[in-house]
A = this chain, B = another copy of it.
Amino acid sequence: MSMIVNRRDLDFIFYEALGLDKLLQSDRYADYDRESLDAMFDLCQSIAEEEFLPCAGKLDANEPQFVDGQVETIPEVKQAIAAFKEAGLCASGYDADVGGMQLPWMVDQALNGMFVCANNPIHIYLFLTQGVANMLNACGSDELKDKYLGPLVEGDWFGTMCLSEPQAGSSLADITTKAEPLEDGSYKISGTKMWISGGEQDLSDNIIHMVLAKVPGGPAGVKGISLFLVPKMRVNDDGSLGGRNNVALAGLNHKMGCRGATNTLLNFGEGGDCLGYLVGNENQGLANMFHMMNEARISVGMSAVMTALGGYLYSLDYARNRPQGRDLANKDPQLPQVMISEHADIKRMLMTQKAFVEGAQMLMHYSAQIIDHQKISDDAEQNQRMGLLLDLLTPICKSWPSEYCLEANKLAIQVLGGYGYTREYPVERLYRDNRLNHIHEGTWGIQGLDILGRKVQMHNGAAVAILREEVQATIDSASAYPQLAVYCTQLTSTLDQVEQTIAAVVACDDNSLALANATIFLDAMGHAVIAWMWLIQAVAASAGMVKGESTDQDFYAGKLAATGFFFRYELPKAKASLELVADLDSTCFDLTAEQFLGQ
């Protein structure tokens, strides 16, 4: 079995649950059919398994080093990236007009997901580059695009996002990096940026930094932030590289996981002029950056899912092949030991991983296909409607997998016991890699404020109403299968409670108090949405059981069991959480800093 993908599950999500075949009938995706996509998955799977996966442990144990002012990375990384580029995969995430493959995003997500699962640190460089190129394409001038877009799309140059600063992590209002206009229209950039993934490396010919900075004299806070393109090496008019642009590596951060991707502290303009080029208009930097934020946040969630999938597959394979102990009904020591996958508690831990990973993966692809459908549809009203739904789902996409797929990684360690706790096995590394996802691209707490303070309230609660309509459509389709009725009732009841909770929050005059339990709301709302994702899968599995091949019965039975698990073991937890939020419980909020220790 593969350690990076369950192709049967991908086929199920795409063709049985989300109707990818219909999407492929549109003009936009006319180059693709199921057969050609299968071939592409085959190719990506083999590159990921042969070039990315084998060096993941070595890269973790031999993270990039800072030697004589340069970063040094183990050679296997360059080889893996070369294979990725050679297969043309750097172009997978772009439209045809800039030389891309113009794939549906959900397909691109899944293709890239195999590389994330195999070796996330390497993929971080590739993922960031795609984000920079898309931002440049969306907001940059033709002049900037002509000069910088091609090498980014081809993967010759890599990109970074430079937002945080040492004194301003999540609080972008407080950044102090300065951009002073020069006569030729460019800007002189000076300041320090923190937590810059890929900020220095020895893997690409140039690095294109997307930098948030403030033009002197502009408005205070986030309203005075502008976006600049700042190359590591200056680029001549003919596209050749000039001299260094005074972006200096001030230090590498040494992380718990994802060690293979550099994370840097960068100084701009310390040793001489550092030139930057405005992307979009002055003082609209945050809006331009947020242009990509939905997709970036969903990608963080996808990274959490894929990292957990690796742990799930590995621990499942281990459990099926590790003899230990005996059935509780007959512990005769003369009998041979049974595989640990026979023990009830091991099954529980594997089932929990399955329910979390496959439920979250469904949400990632569901969210991506909203954008895919928007791109092929002229129905402005429906597009806006689904756009609002996506806005609502985005903080859940970012945070729910960061919490529960991390929990899945924790359980994968437990399945392996002592072996799982050693670096000779991959599961502890995957946990460490995944721990990042709750922190970057907006922390857990920030996502909570986003969903409860903004998303559920925007347009008088329109997004939640749309969510209910879409859930109802699933419930309607579930009516053909009586055994699903109990889940439909439970989900309806949970969503009723969600709405009552939102009403209580909206009715509260004290915004700080109303949002004090926002993270807990996000958690509970996430459970409701993932329950919906399982209901969609249960409908598809029920249909498959009727129509399907007899060899598929195990697969569908597993899907229905996981649905049952999620509704019985997980969804009930949302109830108590929503009660706390609706009660405006202030137990934590009222505490003073002195009361924690009494000093």
Residues on A facing B (Cβ under 8 Å): 1, 6, 8-9, 164, 167-171, 173-174, 194-195, 220-222, 253-257, 313, 316, 319-320, 323-329, 331-334, 337, 339, 341-348, 350-351, 354, 406, 410, 413-414, 417-418, 420-424, 428, 431-432, 435-436, 438-440, 443-445, 448-449, 453, 510-512, 515-520, 552, 554-558, 561, 564-565, 568-569, 572-573, 575-576, 579-580, 585, 587-599
Contacts and interface: CB of A to CB of B under 8 A. Distances in A.
Given A171-B324, A587-B565, A554 B592 contact: yes
Contacts of A575: 576
Nearest to A559: B598
A587 B569 contact: yes
Given A413-B435, A421-B256, A572 B561 contact: no
14 contacts: A171-B325, A171-B326, A195-B418, A256-B431, A257-B421, A413-B439, A414-B444, A417-B443, A421-B436, A555-B597, A565-B587, A568-B585, A573-B576, A576-B576
Contacts of A594: 554
A519 B595 contact: no
B348 A517 contact: yes
Contact of A344 (B328, B413, B439, B588): B588
Contact of A346 (B171, B348, B438, B445): B445
A149 B101 CA distance: 74
B598 A512 contact: no
A580 B570 CA distance: 11
B170 A325 contact: yes
Max count, chain B CB within 10 A of own CB: residue among A572, A575, A593, A598? A598
B428 A414 contact: no
Contact of A587 (B168, B436, B561, B598): B561
B591 A422 contact: no
A309 B585 CA distance: 26
A348 to B, nearest CB: 4
A561 B590 contact: yes
A354 B587 CA distance: 13
A87 to B, nearest CB: 26
Contacts of A341: 593
B573 A569 contact: no
Nearest to A418: B195
